[in-house]
Structure 1
Amino acid sequence: MSTDIRKTIDESPMSTLQTVAVIACIVLNMLDGFDVLAMAFTAPHLAAGWRLNGKELGLLLSAGLVGIGVGSVLIAPIGDRIGRRKVILCCLCIIGSGMLVSSVTQSVLELAAARAYTGLGIGGMVASITVIGGEYASNRWRSASISFQSTGYAVGATAGGVIAAYLMSIWGWRSVFAFGGVATLLAIPMVLAVLPESLDYLLTKRPAHALRTINRTLVRMKRPPIDTLPEVADTTEAAEQSDACAALLKAPLLHRTLALWAAFFCVLGSFYFVASWTPKLLVQAGMSADQGVTGGVLLNLGGIAGSVLFSLLSARFGLRPLLIASLVAGGVLMFAFGTHTASLSVVMAISILLGAVLTSSVAGMYALSLTIYPTGIRTTGVGLAAGAGRIGAVLSPLAVGAMLDGGWSVPDLYFAFVLPMAGAAIAVAIARVSVPDSRDRREPAVS
């Protein structure tokens, strides 16, 4: 991106447009939180109504995550070629229509297919809003902006649990998907009104009318317009753009990319195990269906508090040490959760703390990924890293379903996920040792 414009955004106070753009990304992540966990909210009722076994329920919980992984890998990188905003709008259409189709399915396979289709849109959108939100944030608030997006996810998931419980008590599980579809489609006018295209993309890719679009955005930011598009002087970045995927797997990015993929795999695998299975597992451990949903809601309430705290702390302290601390705490709380599944009051308290550190860990991973890649391949880099994470997210619900059918106890499942949390902490630490983050744009917050 043009050094002057980038420097202005990085170092100046946030304008109203920048703040609104970040808030719009947070709202979109709220919808993501509801859409992703709609299956978890409805799982106990759906399992009872359709008489599903563990493998069938695992298939339904993983189907959406498969779509998310594919969307992260195949759809998100398109944002580097046609624009982040266009991809977001297309993905909202996919998500909304997929949720509506899910509400009228009649079999496990139909619902699994609808969830996979919905996931395509979610995977493409999440990487795009992470990048565009980070690009419109100043240096001071960039890490906090990404963390607040995770707060939006937790808010959407928490509110979704409350809304889902109410809807299912009156109209059944299908109403949850119908509500999510309508709410997602209503977000399209918001994006058209308040979320501008990425200035980094416009200056790097230079589509038709780029100068006019840039100046329109600069005026809305109360910044002086530019007369001509600046020259692209960074030949290294231009070469990386020509084959973004190959650039990720060559020096100097190779070691950092592999470590990032490993960490994403472990973190998202653990997160979606807890988010997807906890309501059902609490019921299996002897609690009622309502208590299971309550446990899921408390996880997300903890996620709200944790991601807000993470956002504030990341504006003052190093991102990487804070992320490692969250991952280690997550492993400890996984063990504690498994140890106390028979005690309602204790497990509910641990749910809040576990939700806090897991959501903070996901937020930290996305914030860390933005510091690694240059503008021309940033959405591709974040999308592929998230795609690696989605592989873990897909495998963990499937594995848990098979493990349940194989006789594993509920505590043993949580004990098993201590290892991925420890592995993620090691991968983040190795990424720091292997390749220093010379691209970090905010030194006080990102060590």
Structure 2
Amino acid sequence: MNITQRISAAPMSGYQWLIIALCTVMNCLDGFDVMAVAFTGPSLVEEFDLTGSQFGLLVSVGLIGMAMGSMLLAPFADLIGRRPLLLISHVLSTVGMFGAAVSPSATVMGFFRLLTGIGVGGMLASTNVIASEFSNTKNRGLAIGIYTAGYGIGATIASLAARVAVGGDWRIVFYVGGFGTLLSLVVIALLLPESVAFLEQRRPRGALERINRTLTRMGLDPVSQTDLDQAASAREKDGKAGAGWLKQLLTPTILLWITFITIMFGFYFVNSWTPTLLVEEGLSESAAVTAGMAISLGGTVGSVLYGFVARMRTPRVALIGFSLLSATMMVVFIVSTSILWLGFGIGVLVGALINGCIAGVYTVGPPLYPSKVRSVGMGWALGMGRIGAILSPTIAGMLRDAGATATQLYIGAAGVVAICAVVLVGLRRYDPESVPSEVKEPATA
């Protein structure tokens, strides 16, 4: 049994939950980053005299950077280590946030948004893997749910900063983000260990000592050099088998990509455009920010809620339910905002459900792939999902300029999210967590 298998089988220690908490903090930066632009949208549009398409492009630039970071920076995590890449990504994000705060024009701000996105993308690709590697099998869904909840926490902090900045200087929001990222850099440098899976496979200098130090903190027995040699030999033999994995998994891979694209399309539409659309529909800027904050607050608990539901039903079935409910509540939300208290309450539900969908795709994806290609499969799925994230604000801006109302845009985005449920039904035969239960029933009868 290699180290990863030992961690999967052993109970979770307090140290492992600390690592999950650190990953959650880093995911907060993603939520703050995206919502920093969303909540300051009305002020940005006014100061830089932006059209809907231009504002949508400004939002998309950051998302393009995230896709670049996920697909271009992430591979270096297998070369230099997860921890060094996270530190580099933090530096890029810190520079990008402070740069956005002092930007004199939309063009300059777009450059720093791209830089911030690259840093955040590098972080997300690594933290998702670390959270999974340090979790055991029983609690992996819950751990990923807690990790995903970090987005909602970061978005809520961004909304609070935006409320302070309403009527004042929108640049305050980006200064807060810059200082927060800088603080996270210091904390990660002091507390986060290198991935034991990376140390076991790459075996850099001092790997054995670093592995055993981390295992001791996790309450697990140390390993010997012989153990590492035997695990390496087993991986080498396993690597010679199944060379045609890509062809075998082509169909579920495409279905997973579509799932990521549709969920992220709806997720980033809700989180990027809601405040601006509500202002254009007649709400005050303060009320629009509060509505966006309601969605963010819901997001902080939605992913954890999904984690508990996924312990009772298979993750794929749970995600089907969350996606259908998300689409329904998105429509209900936009037609109920004229009644503020009702709209805010439903906004909490929208945030919880759509954020739960993000936790769902992070949980459904990994079991589709064998362990030796799981990082590659999930890495590209995350990168492809950013297509939906990039297209969402851009298409919304173009349609808004063409005369589409907020209600029409929300209904369209809800339709895209509903497609996810259909795709997940088609994914059933490839899901190892669904197939066994379906096979056992006839045998039992």
Q: Is the 8 A contact 1:128 1:379 kept in 2?
A: no
Contact 1:286/1:342 (CA < 8 Å) preserved in 2?
no
Aligned equivalent of 1:444: none
Matches of 1:46 and 1:76, distance apart in 2 = 31
Give CA-to-partner distance per residue, 1:129-167, whole Å, 9 cap, x none: 011011101111101111111111101111220122214
Q: Deviations along 1:54-93, whole A, 9 cap, x unmatched?
A: 1111111111011111111111222233222222111111
Residue type of the partner of 2:143? S
Aligned to 1:263: 259
- With over 3 angstroms needed to count, the CA separation of the structure-2 counterparts of 1:14 and 1:332, relative to structure 1, is same
CA contact (8 A) 1:124 1:383 kept: no
TM-score normalised by length of structure 1: 0.91
- Give the equivalent residue in structure 2 for 1:445: none
Which amino acid in 2 is paired with 1:230?
D
Task: Tell whether the 8 Å contact from 2:31 to 2:150 is kept in structure 1 after alignment.
Answer: yes
**Are the aligned partners of 2:314 and 2:434 in contact in 1 as well (CA < 8 Å)?**
no
State the alpha-carbon separation in 1 of the partners of residues 375 and 426 from structure 2. Answer: 23
Instruction: Provide the residue aligned with 2:150 in structure 1.
Output: 152
Partner of 1:300: 296
For 2:305 and 2:99, locate their aligned partners in 1 and report how far apart those are by CA, in whole Å.
37
Whole-angstrom distance in 1 between the partners of 2:99 and 2:221: 47
Q: Secondary structure, in 3 states, of the residue corresponding to 2:427?
A: helix
Q: How does 1:38-437 map to 2 (within 5 A)?
A: 38-170=36-168, 172-228=169-225, 229-231=228-230, 232=232, 233-235=234-236, 238=239, 250-434=246-430, 436=432
User: 1:76 touches 1:379 (CA, 8 Å); kept in 2?
Assistant: no
Distance 1:434 1:379 in 2: 18
Q: Is the 8 A contact 1:80 1:378 kept in 2?
A: no
Structure 2 residue identity aligned to 1:311: G
Q: 2:241, 2:72 → 1: CA distance?
A: 18
1-structure distance, mates of 2:362, 2:349? 20
1:360-387 C-alpha deviation (Å, 9 max, x unpaired): 0011111222333345543332221111
Alpha-carbon distance in 2 for matches of 1:403, 1:206 = 52
- Structure 1: how far apart are the matches of 2:181 and 2:435? 35
Q: Is the 8 A contact 2:38 2:275 kept in 1?
A: yes
Report the Cα distance in structure 2 between the residues aligned to 1:279 and 1:304, rounded to whole angstroms: 18
Q: Which shows bigger deviation, 106-115 or 289-298?
A: 106-115
SS at match of 1:251: helix
Name stretches of at least 5 consecutive residues in structure 1 with no aligned partner: 441-447
**3-state DSSP of counterpart to 1:115:** helix
2 CA distance for matches of 1:247 and 1:40? 44
Classify the secondary structure of the residue corresponding to 2:205: coil
- Bigger drift between 264-273 and 101-110 goes to 101-110
Moved over 6 A (4+): none
Q: Residue 17 of structure 2 aligns to a residue in which SS? A: helix
Aligned-partner SS, 1:287: coil
Classify the secondary structure of the residue corresponding to 1:75. helix
| Alpha-carbon spacing, 1:405–1:82, altered in 2? closer, same or farther (3 Å) | same
